[in-house]
Amino acid sequence: MTKENVKVLILGSGPAGYTAAIYASRANLNPVLYSGPQMGGQLTITNDVENYPGYPKGINGQQMMVDFQEQAARFGADLRSGIATKVDFSNSNALKVIIDENHEIIAESVIIATGASAKWLGLPSEQKFLYSGVSACAVCDGFFYRSKDVVIVGAGDTACEEASYLAKLCNKVYMIVRRDEMRASKIMQKRVLNTPNIEILWNSETDEILGTDSVEGARIRNIQTGATRDLAISGFFVAIGHKPNTDIFAGILPMDENGYLKVLAGTSKTEIEGVFAAGDVQDHVYRQAVTAAGSGCMAALDAERYLAAKEMVEQE
């Protein structure tokens, strides 16, 4: 196992992680950032971001994260690929994080910005057909279903955005909504409702994804009537929300009932001194790129102040 000491360690490369890296590097804290499994985070699998201030015409999510990354690199942040596989925060003066099971980092402060990951329905057929017809990213995989019929499950902004995206590529999009209304914002709903090749199946759930080697259909059940309908489709997209990436912090940092990290209100401070949390990993309410970036800034400032106070105490 290789070993290294760092001042500020940042875990995660979404808007929160990169913003923390921008601020920490500009404060001469020499931050080291590990990307996690999905470099650039969730925005790299979204389409256009239209609500981030400063981009009046919108910006492609992937491009936005390249811009964030370049900005962090410009100020000297050490940006690396790698995944935190274990942590030991029992000594707040030597916060231990293992990267890829083979590199040990002792950090003076840690900023956790590991974000959240797509949720799945939990059907065995969903796992069976993952990468052969089942996907949680329409923007990544929609291209493979050009002129075909597809299903998308979910009724939030993501599902609406992805349904609209798929409708431009595919022949027909069936949107499976488990209630008689959608959670998505009105403007996103309107877009979906006004798209002729999107058919919404209300009060409906998926019983099974059908096929032999790849997806050939989906059995959809109306929850109210119990009636089932087999749809002939080639692609099955899941857009039902996310789960925070906090498994390695279980039993180490306090979390809410859904696994989101708890921070002291109005700050990024966790219960452990020197450990801060930013972005979706601690926010199940707002979950926006702009709020994640804002909280990444807060975490870097909190870390800077924590380190400065610690240094003063050590000098006395």
What does the binding site for ligand NDP look like in residue numbers (CB under 6 A)?
50-51, 121, 153-159, 161, 178-179, 183, 240-242, 287
Which residue in the list 67, 88, 100, 140 is annotated as catalytic? 140
The 8-class DSSP code of residue 260 comes to P
Supply the minimum distance, in Å, between the C-beta of residue 72 and ligand NDP.
23
Give the nearer residue to ligand NDP in terms of CB position, either 105 or 215: 215
Q: Are the C-beta atoms of residues 21 and 298 closer than 8 Å to each other?
A: no
Burial of residue 280 (number of CB atoms within 10 Å: 0-12, 13-18, 19+): buried
Calpha distance 144→136 (Å, rounded) = 14
The catalytic position among 141, 280, 283, 302 is: 141
Say how far apart CA 119 and CA 109 lie, in whole Å.
30
Could you list the beta-strand ranges (E) of 239-289.
242-244, 275-277
Closer to ligand NDP by Cβ: residue 95 or 116: 116
Of 108 and 126, CB closest to ligand NDP: 126
State yes or no: is 297 an active-site residue. Answer: no
Length of the chain: 316
Which residue's CB is nearer to ligand NDP, number 141 or number 157? Answer: 157
**Min CB(178)–ligand NDP separation in Å:** 4
C-alpha closest to that of 152 among 24, 139, 73: 139
CA dihedral 101, 28, 68, 83 (to 10 degrees): 0
Distance of closest approach, residue 267 Cβ to ligand NDP, in angstroms: 22
Q: In the bound complex, what is the minimum distance in angstroms from residue 240's beta carbon to ligand NDP?
A: 4
Q: Is 140 a catalytic residue?
A: yes
The alpha-carbon radius of gyration of the chain (Å, integer) is 22
CB proximity list for 87: less than 8 A, separation 6 or greater? 95, 96, 97, 98, 110, 248, 249, 252
Residue with Cβ nearer ligand NDP (157 or 304) = 157
Minimum distance, C-beta of residue 242 to ligand NDP, in the bound complex (Å): 6
The residues annotated with a catalytic role in the active site are 137, 140-141
